[in-house]
Amino acid sequence: MALHIVHFIGPINHSSACTVRNLCLQALQSGATEIALHMSTEGGNMTAGFALYFFLKSLPLPLTTHNIGSIESVGVVIFLAGQQRYACPGTRFLVHPLHWGFGNLVAADHARVTEWRECLDFDAERYARIFDEATRAGAAAGDIRAHLLGHARLFDADQALAAGIIDQVVQARLPAAGAASHWWNG
Query: What pLDDT sits at residue 163?
Result: 96
The tens digit of pLDDT for each residue in 3-49 reads 999 999 999 999 999 999 999 999 999 999 999 999 999 999 999 99
Of 12, 24, 16, nearest to 71 by C-alpha is 12
Mean pLDDT over 101-106 rounds to 71
Give CA–CA dist 54/52, Å, rounded. 6
The tens digit of pLDDT for each residue in 150-181 reads 899 999 999 999 999 999 999 999 988 778 88
Number of domains the chain contains: 1
pTM comes to: 0.93
Supply the CATH number for residue 153's domain: 3.90.226.10
Q: What is the largest CA-CA distance in the chain?
A: 59
**Higher-confidence position of 16 and 142:** 16
Any idea what the Cα angle at residue 161 is, between residues 156 and 162, rounded to 5°?
100
**Contact indicator for 79, 67 with CB cutoff of 8 Å:** yes
Domain span including residue 170: 3-184
